[in-house]
Amino acid sequence: MTGTTLTSVAAGTRSPASPTANRARRRILMPPPIVAVFIVVLVVVVVSAALAPLVAPHDPTRNDLIARLQPPAWLEGGSTEHLLGTDQLGRDVLTRLIYGARVSLIIAVLGTLFGAVLGVTCGLAAGLVRGRLDELMMFLVDAWLALPFLVIALVLVALLGTSLPVLVLLAALSGWAGFTRISRGLGLQIREEQYVLAARAIGVSQVRLLIRHSLPNVIAPLIVLTTTELTGIILLEASLSYLGFGIQPPLAAWGLMVNEGREYLNTSWWLGVFPGALIMLVAISVSLVGDWLRDVLDPTTRT
């Protein structure tokens, strides 16, 4: 079996590991069709977000009160001018979705990146150095995980406001504990490996040991954790912005759009449903691609 079906991915079961590196390489080149579909979804979202000013049909913040609350093009009263309809201020929903993708993606990508760098540094250092540092680090992680992160995030937002840098900081903080835990375990594992002992024996410095010898070996599991964190941050950002603690109006963010659409649910359902469905679609895509990457990258996957 070379393909990973949606349900087997969904159920958390994995296809048997490929016996040879050659086959593994072929699987990297050819994702199963269902995963390919979601990769395409992600590419479309990323590209349209990156090229927002070029691909978006309208200005995301320009009001047009005459054309307010227009339904999507395929419904009665809709027009091809506004494919997904317009909101309470006559702004084009499709355009705002595209600009909202920018916010979500910037926060998710930068946040995951910073969180990974911070967590991997802490975790590998703890695992390789052991002793006091290790104890302290694990205690901090445990204490951190004692609080639901949404609560931490809300408090920080209350103290620091809701600018983009603060949101990126929050996203980074949401992931560091996870990265620290996993890379500590890997650090411990590596510490006992022959090649690390050998490197240490010939007098390689701790820093060099970390960068040149440990990191390349832990990169695969980290990539997989990264996709999990990405999904988590996308949902976190959406939740914060739904509560009104994310990017502020008139800028567009998906969660904020759902929030604004809540009021008009009775008459203009598309305002809340499209951005909500998009958040879900992107979250599902990232998880699925992550699960597939896990299968491909981990040669020791069990059934």
Residues at the site binding other proteins, with contacts judged by CB under 8 A: 6-7, 9-12, 139, 142-143, 146-151, 154-160, 231, 235, 238-239, 242-245, 255, 258-259, 261-262, 265-266, 269, 272-273, 276-277, 279-280, 283-284, 287
* CB-nearer residue toward other proteins: 65 or 159: 159
CA distances to 4, 145, 294, 295 from 12, rounded to whole Å, are 11, 24, 11, 11
Give the closest residue to 282 by CA, choosing from 254, 257, 261.
254
Rounded Cα distance, 159 and 149, in Å: 15
* CB-nearer residue toward other proteins: 172 or 279: 279
Question: How near is the Cβ of 149 to other proteins at its closest, in Å?
Answer: 7
CB-CB contact of 282 with 234 (8 Å): yes
* CB-nearer residue toward other proteins: 56 or 274: 274
Question: How near is the Cβ of 141 to other proteins at its closest, in Å?
Answer: 11
* CB-nearer residue toward other proteins: 64 or 264: 264
Question: How near is the Cβ of 26 to other proteins at its closest, in Å?
Answer: 25
Question: How near is the Cβ of 258 to other proteins at its closest, in Å?
Answer: 6
DSSP, collapsed to helix, strand or coil, labels residue 242 as helix
Rounded Cα distance, 109 and 56, in Å: 22
Question: How near is the Cβ of 102 to other proteins at its closest, in Å?
Answer: 19
* CB-nearer residue toward other proteins: 107 or 210: 107
CB-CB contact of 97 with 84 (8 Å): yes
CB-CB contact of 195 with 213 (8 Å): yes
Q: 69 is written with which tokens? A: 């609350």
* CB-nearer residue toward other proteins: 126 or 209: 126
* CB-nearer residue toward other proteins: 266 or 300: 266
Question: How near is the Cβ of 101 to other proteins at its closest, in Å?
Answer: 16
Provide the b/e sequence for 201-223 (b: ≥16 CB within 10 Å).
eeeeeeeebbeebbbeebeebbe
Question: How near is the Cβ of 51 to other proteins at its closest, in Å?
Answer: 26
In three state form, how does the secondary structure of 92-137 look? EHHHHHHHHHHHHHHHHHHHHHHHHHHHHHHHHHHHHHCHHHHHHH
* CB-nearer residue toward other proteins: 214 or 268: 268
State CA 48 to chain mean position distance.
17
In three state form, how does the secondary structure of 139-183 look? HHHHHHHCCCHHHHHHHHHHHHCCCHHHHHHHHHHHHHHHHHHHH
Question: How near is the Cβ of 160 to other proteins at its closest, in Å?
Answer: 7
